[in-house]
Homo-oligomer: A and B are copies of this chain.
């Protein structure tokens, strides 16, 4: 979460450290095991990261970061240095590395792969994950910094219901009559997309919802109701596990 510190004026390192730990609770709640999972926080593990980052930083110049990230002369020098820190965890242990990441982080790991052979390290392999659309529509990505566009794992059932009903971008028609006639568009409907990506593992059921919504048989409100129920069912269990995870957190933290 350091990148938020560099890119947002009012963000403090205290806040980003807290975010990192809160995110960690979600990982633990999802079943990651401390034997296989180490959480690295730049400010906390800088003793391990910095010497590796320094090897990287020496081999990247401002022009490279300009070309890859579109940095400008007004970019702060922490943000400029940051890609070195982002690369460092790949080389803490001397073994092949696989990095799953949101596709927006691709430029960082392109640089990582470019530099790795120059410091006699194996290139990490990459898995690009799609971005989750924001509630507001398929064009934005879900981002923690925009409250109304995002379902947090800590949201209450009422908040989830309100956010989906109020903000989830709909592929439906302006009124019921027209919807029944023309049908909705599940490809741009955010509620349908969340079901597809996260909450409806049964492909047949998903196809049924798709067809019913597209034909106009299912209304936007009904689709949203399905999603709200699924999310809240998931969150009820997740939030319990997430609270239980607090006592385990320390086991997951990487020790320099």
Which residues of A line the B interface, CB within 8 A?
5-6, 13, 42-43, 46-47, 50-51, 54-55, 57-66, 71-78, 80-81, 83-84, 256
Contact = CB atoms under 8 A, between A and B. Distances in A.
A6 B62 contact: no
20 contacts: A5-B54, A5-B58, A6-B58, A13-B55, A43-B54, A57-B77, A57-B78, A58-B78, A60-B76, A61-B74, A61-B77, A62-B62, A62-B73, A62-B77, A62-B80, A63-B73, A77-B83, A80-B80, A80-B81, A81-B81
B81 A77 contact: yes
B62 A71 contact: yes
B46 A61 contact: no
Q: Say how many copies of this protein the assembly contains.
A: 2
Contacts of A55: 13
A84 B73 contact: no
A81 B77 CA distance: 6
A73 B6 CA distance: 20
